[in-house]
Amino acid sequence: YRPPKPYRHPVLDARLTKARLAFEAKVLERCRREGVPVPAVYAQNAAAGWIAVEWIEGAPVRVKINEWLGQRPKNEEEEKAALEKDQGPLVELMKRIGSAIAGLHRTGVVHGDLTTSNMMLRPPVKTTKMTTTTTTTEEGETNGVISEEAQEKAKLLEGDVIIIDFGLANQSQSDEDRATDLYVLERAFASTHPRAENLFEHLLESYKQSFKKGASVLHKLEDVRMRGRKRSMIG
């Protein structure tokens, strides 16, 4: 729902809201038809300023990544060792994100505000859990606790990546626009998850492998990065 903006003329505000919501619904429906992981549109009333979309179970990718990373280690060496020890589940998640964005861009849609807050991680369908028998040692430690903890941690990052919040989306076949989409996500990821910043390359590699024009988009991304660095230097 988009409430009226009092600082705009009522007629202009109603016209802009109607057009924007109608376009957002159109983009979501187009993505669904093409198999892009986005919420389904159930109903809409652009004139009244609302659209009803599918409720996505789970949590934002941002929350799950930070939960997986856990408490920040005391020093840089511990942090590096912790990441190198078992980064497999996070790498796989980055690949799934890259694949989802590739599908979006292949459809001719750019998101406009890609962040890990605008992606949901929908948990897989639960299966019947098998019971296990554990034994306790004299020291009071339960056999298999470490492996169970590792499995539970890996489960944090399981599930399908669903892209949400298309309020700033646009239709575009431009490599420049697609590269800008990736650049926005890259900057947001580095700011939100600095400890996992080095894993962003796995997302880009997956994007490249999942999208025929991925190589040219990544080439354009280098230009976008360069302009971004220049703006940062100039202020």
Q: What is the residue whose two structure tokens read 């354009």?
A: 220
The secondary structure element, H or E, covering residue 5 is none
Q: Measure the CA–CA gap between 85 and 195, rounded to whole angstroms.
A: 14
Q: In 10 A of CB 195, how many CB atoms?
A: 16
Amino acid identity at 84:
E
∠ CA 33-34-36 to the nearest 5 degrees?
105
DSSP 73: P
Cβ–Cβ < 8 Å for 44, 52: yes
Could you confirm whether 113 is annotated as catalytic? yes
189 to each of 34, 45, 66, 224, how far by Cα in Å?
Answer: 27, 34, 11, 16
Q: Which of 113, 160, 175, 223 is catalytic?
A: 113
Q: Measure the CA–CA gap between 37 and 104, rounded to whole angstroms.
A: 8
Residues that are catalytic: 113
